[in-house]
Amino acid sequence: MPADHLILGSPAKAIRALSEQEMEWKKQGTREYQTLVERCKQTMHQVEPLHEVEPDRKRLVFDENLRPKSSS
């Protein structure tokens, strides 16, 4: 199958060519996921469950340029 095409189905079929923008969007999403995996490996440890949310609890912040594709 061509590397620059959208592949769907079973059996798989090449549906259409992907734009450079679509391929970069996918690459950026993959990089974000890989970064999250490494962060988890470095910081994850076993804890006791909370009974309520901590008032100063940190939130995950993602790259503001990484957005879901529009459904148009």
**Which pLDDT tens digit goes with each residue over 18-61?**
999 999 999 999 999 999 999 999 999 999 998 998 899 888 77
Q: Does 54 map to a domain?
A: no
- Say whether the peptide bond before residue 55 is cis (omega within 30 degrees of 0): no
The total number of structural domains that make up the chain: 1
What is the CB-side half-sphere exposure of residue 23 using CA atoms within 13 A?
A: 11
How sure is the predictor about 65, in pLDDT bands with cuts at 50, 70 and 90?
A: confident
**Residue numbers of the domain that contains 29:** 5-42
Q: Does 32 map to a domain?
A: yes
Q: Does 31 map to a domain?
A: yes
Please give the Cα distance from 28 to 65 (Å, whole number): 9
Q: Does 66 map to a domain?
A: no
Contact yes or no for 7/15 (Cβ under 8 A):
yes
Contact yes or no for 16/6 (Cβ under 8 A):
yes
The predicted pLDDT at position 71 comes to: 60
The predicted pLDDT at position 57 comes to: 87
pTM of the model: 0.56
Give the SS3 label for residue 20.
helix
